[in-house]
Amino acid sequence: MDFTEKILSEKQIYKGKLLDVRKYEVVLPNGLKSGREVIKHIGASAVLAVDDENNIFMVRQYRFAAGEHLLEVPAGKFDRHGEDPLECARRELEEETGKKAEFWSYLGYILTTPGFTDEKIHLFLAKGLFDGKTNPDSDEFIQLVRTPLAEFEKMIREGNINDAKTIAVYTRAKLSGGI
């Protein structure tokens, strides 16, 4: 069944440093009009980086919006519209962990919260890790964490890892036999 909503008008409500807030007038499948509010997002990549001893790399940082310190896999936004998701993934992995990877597998994408944003995060599994040029300690507000896979799974199970993309990239890697 096709429930597509057609766009009648689009208006930018707010453009901040980070957020692009838009309001749309749409036609519902039954012909009635309705409003839609959307946070436009450029897109992002996230990486499950696994070393030869089956450790997972994460970063721990304070997330102001969430009001908590969170453990997350390396991830970040595209630096321009249409950036290759793999290029973004490589950059974010090296920036946040200092590592590069020999082997990359694409694990599809997720929509983080499709009720109000188009944010799409592309997921990758990275193996064959080796040292890059970046020193991750240069960002004083991010802490690099290396966790054995079994402990990482326990942290997801027990609610010590609560970041949606981190859980999703693990799950895709697991179900596809990559880890």
The residue from 140, 151, 153, 158 that is catalytic is 140
Is 33 near a second copy (CB under 8 A)? no
Count of residues making up the chain: 179
CA-closest candidate to residue 152, choices 76, 67, 52, 48: 48
Alpha-carbon dihedral 121, 155, 99, 135, rounded to 10 degrees: 100
Is 35 near a second copy (CB under 8 A)? yes
Give 80's DSSP letter. Answer: S
Is 150 near a second copy (CB under 8 A)? no
Contact code string over 94-133 relative to a second copy, x by CB under 8 A: --------------xxxxxxxxxxxxx-------------
**Among the listed residues 61, 91, 104, 149, the single contact to a second copy using CB under 8 A:** 61
# of chain residues touching a second copy (CB under 8 A):
67
Print burial letters for 25-38: b (CB count within 10 Å at least 16), e (below 16).
Answer: ebeeeeeeeeeeeb
HSE on the CB side for 71, CA within 13 Å? Answer: 18
For residue 30, give the 3-state DSSP assignment: coil
Give 98's DSSP letter. Answer: S
Contact code string over 156-175 relative to a second copy, x by CB under 8 A: xxxx--xxxx-xx-xxx--x
Is 140 labeled as catalytic in the residue annotation? Answer: yes
Is 23 near a second copy (CB under 8 A)? yes
Q: Which amino acid is at 173?
A: A
Footprint of a second copy on this chain (CB under 8 A)?
A: 1-5, 13-14, 16-19, 21, 23-24, 26, 28-30, 35-39, 60-70, 72, 108-120, 140-141, 143, 153, 156-159, 162-165, 167-168, 170-172, 175-176
Active site residues: 140
